[in-house]
Amino acid sequence: MTTVMITGANRGIGLAMTRLALAQGHRVIATARTPENAPDLHALSGDLTVRALDVTDEASLSAFAAATDEAIDLAVLNAGVLNSRGRLESDGESVAAWRVALVTNIAGPFFTARTILPHLLKSKAGKIAIISSQMGSSATAKGEAYAYRASKAGANNVAVNLAAELKPRGIAVGAYHPGWVRTDMGGQDADISVEESAEGLLTRFEALSMATTGVFESYAGKPLTY
Ligand SMILES: NC(=O)c1ccc[n+]([C@@H]2O[C@H](COP(=O)([O-])OP(=O)(O)OC[C@H]3O[C@@H](n4cnc5c(N)ncnc54)[C@H](OP(=O)(O)O)[C@@H]3O)[C@@H](O)[C@H]2O)c1
């Protein structure tokens, strides 16, 4: 049994990964921006601790670290936003939207990793899984959703830099595409359910090791190009 931390666990893929990890017998530290407004998370049963965490807020990150002194074996950095799908001339691609996307999707994983590094180092084999997106792959550019695509390309860059820096400290890092998933973000026309995505992702995290650190792959294990 391992201790798994999952950010953005109150809905969508984060909630499904939390439910599955608990069912598999893991201890889960699940975080939400507003835990007092996370009824689906609180309804789960198992070895669950729910904590507040806004990954863009330094005070929130510090408070999380201060409240947690146990080892974390796997940190799933899942919190993310998709706030515009615009093209070059779309109003939705505003400076405000870019600021939120870049800070949440790129800086969020960086600052969360920094916050929990002491907890990962307490584990015998700590791992970080960043939930990125195939849309962050420059190999599949489509000329839309600029802020989101750039933010996930940045998240991938953070993942490979963390993999390089943390390799000598025995922490493996991977970036993962969860599939096109039926959530508030993915919409109801998406390809797969949250359960299918979570099942595939947890299997991929199990396979993550020092031998595969720096990997970028899909929930189904398909290798992806940065
Ligand atoms: N769904 C897809 O098809 C798809 C495809 C590729 C990649 N992804 C990625 O998969 C991850 C999960 O997506 P999803 O579909 O489950 O999205 P979702 O249903 O929109 O849920 C997003 C989660 O992230 C949290 N979050 C957003 N900003 C945060 C912040 N500053 N601090 C802490 N938590 C924050 C949200 O919290 P609140 O409830 O407080 O807003 C929510 O729990 C994201 O990183 C997303 O980019 C999704």
Cα end-to-end distance, the chain, whole Å: 32
pLDDT at 1 over 80: no
Share of the chain above pLDDT 90, in %: 100
d(CA 168, ligand 1 centre) in Å: 31
- Alpha carbon distance 33, 56 (integer Å): 10
Report which of 176, 178, 177, 173 is spatially closest to residue 208, judged by C-alpha positions.
173
Homologous superfamily, domain 3-218: NAD(P)-binding Rossmann-like Domain (3.40.50.720)
Distance CA 159, CA 134 (A): 14
H/E stretch holding 194: helix 194-207
User: What's the pLDDT tens digit per position in 4-63?
Assistant: 999 999 999 999 999 999 999 999 999 999 999 999 999 999 999 999 999 999 999 999
* Ligand 1, pocket-test mutation among 19, 20, 33, most atoms within 8 A of CB: 33
Mutate to test the pocket of ligand 1, among 6, 185, 188 (most ligand atoms within 8 A of CB): 185
The four Cα atoms 85, 91, 92, 96 give a dihedral, to 10 degrees, of 140
* Residue 184 Cα to ligand 1 middle (Å): 8
* pTM recorded for the entire structure: 0.98
- Using a 6 Å cutoff on CB, does residue 33 contact ligand 1? yes
* pLDDT (0 to 100) of residue 143: 95
The answer, yes or no, to whether any atom of ligand 1 lies below 6 A from the CB of 13, is: yes
State if residue 184 touches ligand 1 by the CB under 6 angstroms criterion: yes
Please report the pLDDT score of residue 133 as a whole number: 98
Nearest to 65 by CA among 32, 103, 15, 112: 112
> Residue 167 pLDDT > 90, yes or no?
yes
The answer, yes or no, to whether any atom of ligand 1 lies below 6 A from the CB of 35, is no
The pLDDT value given to residue 43: 98
Any residues with CB less than 8 A from the CB of 68 and at least 6 apart, and which?
Answer: 29, 51, 116, 119
Q: If you average pLDDT over every residue of the chain, what do you get?
A: 97
* Mean pLDDT value across residues 155-180: 98
pLDDT digits (tens, 9 = 90+) for 169-215: 999 999 999 999 999 999 999 999 999 999 999 999 999 999 999 99
Q: What pLDDT does residue 226 have?
A: 92
d(CA 120, CA 21): 18
